[in-house]
Amino acid sequence: MTPPSLSIVEAGPEDVSSIAAVLSNAFLDGDLAPWLVAELGDRRRIYPHYFAMFAEHALEHGRVEITEDRLAVAVWYPYHPDDPPPVRDYDTRLGKITAPYTARFVALDDAMRRHHPHDEPHHYLGWIAVNPNRQHRGYGTQLLRHHARHLDAAGISAYLEATSPTGRDWYARHGYQPREPYPVARGGPLLYPMWRPPADTSTTPHSPTT
């Protein structure tokens, strides 16, 4: 089901709390959640601050696209020609926010950093999330398509990591090509990297952007 008249806008500094809330709610029971933070109560404490930290960083160094109702969000980072700069005071802030689970978050960061492609300019989808009470209504699809129009017009590829075979299959339906999965850590969950080359728009009309 696709929501009617769904408008997608670029988020601003005033949206930090909304972005953090959507990400926290969407990933509270996500594929990586039990491995990252075993206790649900601890996740409820950690996730809002963790995602607020990244929301502030993405608003400055990336592109955050959010639905007008503030119930779905996609966080993108351009990798061209250099990686985005790190979150300010990241190690200290991460330790304060995620203790006593910090080692798991560091392992996740390290694994993604080691496997991130750097041989071609691209946009990296850090997160895409839909508030649980709006899931399965086409919000995620519209967010992906919205950014894909910009990527295709500019001839830029996209990269992401799915966190499950189900997620991998969903992204594949949107043109993302699977790469070899890798574990977050020994005995940890798998991540499923995916790459989307830009579509050839030279012979097809552009869809209007919102």
Q: How far is CA 102 from the centre of its chain?
A: 20
Q: Are 191 and 184 in contact (CB under 8 A)?
A: yes
Q: How confident is the model at residue 106 (pLDDT cuts 50, 70, 90)?
A: very high
**In terms of Cα–Cα distance, which of 125, 114, 99 is closest to 195?**
125
For 52-100, the pLDDT digits (tens) are 999 999 999 999 999 999 999 999 999 987 789 999 999 999 999 999 9
Mean pLDDT of the chain: 93
Mind giving me the DSSP string for 115-147? H---SS-EEEEEEEEE-GGGTTSSHHHHHHHHH
Helix (H) or strand (E) holding 4, with range, is none
Q: Provide the percentage of residues in the chain whose pLDDT is more than 90.
A: 87
Q: Are 44 and 56 in contact (CB under 8 A)?
A: no
The Cβ of residue 12 has, within 10 Å, a number of other Cβ atoms equal to: 10
**What are 17's two structure tokens?**
């709390």
Domain chopping of the chain, boundaries: 8-155
Q: How confident is the model at residue 6 (pLDDT cuts 50, 70, 90)?
A: confident
Residue 147 has pLDDT above 90, yes or no: yes
Cis peptide before 81 (omega within 30 of 0): yes
Q: Is 8-155 a CATH 3.40.630.30 domain? A: yes
pLDDT at 43: 98
Q: How confident is the model at residue 5 (pLDDT cuts 50, 70, 90)?
A: low
Q: How confident is the model at residue 208 (pLDDT cuts 50, 70, 90)?
A: very low
What's the whole-model pTM score?
A: 0.92
pLDDT at 203: 53
Q: How confident is the model at residue 205 (pLDDT cuts 50, 70, 90)?
A: very low
